Amino acid sequence: MKNTRLINVEEYAPINGINQYLYHLGTSYDNPVMLFLHGGPGSAESLFTRVFQGKWEDIYTVVHWDQRGTGKTLIRNPDKLPTIDLVLQDLFEVIQHLKKKYNKQKIVLIGHSWGSVLGSVFIRKYPEEIAYYIGVAQVIDMLENERVGYNKVKELIEQAGDIKSMKKLESIGEYPGNRVLFNKEFLKKVEVVRKLQGKYGIGIKLDLSTWITVFKSPIFKFSDIIAFMKIFRANAKLHEFLGDFNLRTDDANYEVPIYYILGDNDWQAPYVIAQRYFEEIEAPNKGIFIIPNAGHMTMMEQPDLFFNALLEINKIEEIMI
């Protein structure tokens, strides 16, 4: 039987000089606290909780944070825009706030897409704050991501003998080039690649029922749409950082347990790259879960299989503690 939701709180917490939005959901104060780092940069996933999160709350208190430059935090602080250093400091302070609020020594960190970049950098800097880290649609190397994702869709187009799509792909010229720069020219190319990835079923899948769930979310406001439209302007500095991001510039030694949950149909942050990198990881404990028939929005596309992976991780870590 599903537990009653005991924890259901929205708050603007004073974090690093500004009030930042946190959304807490859970069924027991005894459960570990999991902080969810959304994608983007700038794509709040606090609005999607009803799509994938119900069962999670039986084993975790899940906290969504609209990062600086994102969602409700952006609407409240339109001129307080992020850099990587500011967001890392914000994250540190959010964790202190949660540790104090729930009387916990450490927090579980889960990062999705851009959140996996932020999470991976953070756990190197502050390993003592984190019980364990879960990377979803884990980004390893941004340039390789785009190369591999482009080559995959090209391969599928060739196999299908789809001349029209091949012409569209060839029209963008060399991709991604020697460096990922999120300028207008590159974004136009990305749009073509993403549309073709979508056509061949390897892009982001967000169907109408998902969006209806978002609009019915108890925390949804019209201003959330306005915030979403400001993503690139508000997060320009983070996109700069993301474009050059490569986890391999450092060794693969971590001081916290590392778990990856990857969709075997994710070619936006291609799972094969993270799978390869995972083999190199040295950590107190590690585990990898490849979810069948799931793409970049892994937890939304296969919520039950995703939850099974979380259950297993939770059990392993309980034993380790």
Enumerate the domain spans of the chain.
7-141+218-320, 144-199
Q: What single DSSP character describes residue 42?
A: T
Q: Smallest Cα–Cα separation from 70: which of 44, 35, 99, 98?
A: 44
pLDDT confidence of residue 209: 82
| Mean per-residue pLDDT of the chain | 94
Say yes or no: domain 7-141+218-320 is CATH 3.40.640.10: no
Q: Give pLDDT tens digits along the chain (321 positions).
A: 455 789 999 999 999 999 999 999 999 999 999 999 999 999 999 999 999 999 999 999 999 999 999 999 999 999 999 999 999 999 999 999 999 999 999 999 999 999 999 999 999 999 999 999 999 999 999 999 999 999 999 999 999 999 999 999 999 999 999 999 999 899 999 999 999 998 998 888 777 888 888 899 999 999 999 999 999 999 999 999 999 999 999 999 999 999 999 999 999 999 999 999 999 999 999 999 999 999 999 999 999 999 999 999 999 998 765
What torsion do the CA atoms of 124, 135, 191, 223 make, to the nearest 10 degrees? -90
* Residues across the chain: 321
pLDDT one-digit tens code per residue, 119-142: 999 999 999 999 999 999 999 999
Cis amide leading into 78 (omega within 30): no
H or E segment to which residue 24 belongs = strand 18-26
What torsion do the CA atoms of 216, 221, 135, 241 make, to the nearest 10 degrees? 150
In this structure, how many other beta carbons lie within 10 angstroms of the beta carbon of residue 136?
A: 31
pLDDT one-digit tens code per residue, 198-242: 899 888 877 788 888 889 999 999 999 999 999 999 999 999 999
Helix, strand, coil fractions of the chain, as percent rounded to 5? 50, 20, 35
Q: Which residue type sits at 171?
A: S
Work out the widest C-alpha separation in the chain, in whole angstroms. 60
Residues forming beta bridges with residue 204, ordered by sequence position: none
Residue 197 in contact with residue 267, Cβ under 8 Å? yes
H or E segment to which residue 10 belongs = strand 7-15
Q: Which residue has the tokens 């056509």?
A: 199
Q: Smallest Cα–Cα separation from 268: which of 246, 307, 297?
A: 297
